[in-house]
Amino acid sequence: MGEIARNKLDRVDTNVGKIIDAFLTDSKIASMPGFVGTVGTTSVIILNANEKRVYAIMVNDSLQDMWLGFGEPAVADKGIRVNSEGGNYEITWKNLFVGTISAIAKSANVLMTGVDGYGN
């Protein structure tokens, strides 16, 4: 690799590092309210859209699997499955999603718990 290409890559790495540092500095969690709800055979919104979201975790606290929908209604057997008995899906700065999140299961009264953390 030539010297010019190496210099360009070094600048890109430096800039990416600065962007990540700025995001982490500006994205301190100010509040992390917990939630609990039941999911059934019809898609239900479990987290509303939140532009300030920097962290969330959704935990399946039941004996039945459930599926998540991101920005659209959840569909059973499609998308991200959250396994039963403590299976979870975590949102961090690496996979940040600030839109509406929905869930669905194949039976009624499937319990989901979690937190939705957001910054200032």
Ordered DSSP codes for 107-120? SS-EEEEEEEEE--
Task: Say which amino acid occupies 72.
Answer: E
Instruction: Report how far residue 106's alpha carbon sits from residue 76's, in angstroms, rounded to the nearest whole number.
Output: 7
Given a contact cutoff of 8 angstroms between Cβ atoms, the answer to whether 99 and 116 are in contact is no
- Identify the pLDDT of residue 93: 86
Q: pLDDT for 27-42, tens place per residue?
A: 677 888 999 999 999 9
Q: pLDDT for 77-120, tens place per residue?
A: 999 999 999 999 999 988 999 999 999 999 999 999 999 998 87
CA distances from 12 to 3, 20, 105 (A): 14, 12, 44
- Identify the pLDDT of residue 97: 94
H runs (alpha helix) in 1-120: 3-26
- The domain segmentation of the chain, as residue ranges, is 1-29, 34-118
Q: What is the pTM of this model?
A: 0.76
- Identify the pLDDT of residue 60: 96
As assigned by CATH, the class of the 34-118 domain is mainly beta
CA distances from 83 to 18, 25, 64, 105, 110 (A): 37, 33, 7, 11, 11
| pLDDT at residue 6 is higher than 50 | no
| pLDDT at residue 7 is higher than 90 | no
Q: pLDDT for 13-70, tens place per residue?
A: 555 555 555 555 556 778 889 999 999 999 999 999 999 999 999 999 999 999 999 9
| pLDDT at residue 12 is higher than 80 | no
Helices vs strands, H then E, count in the chain: 1, 8
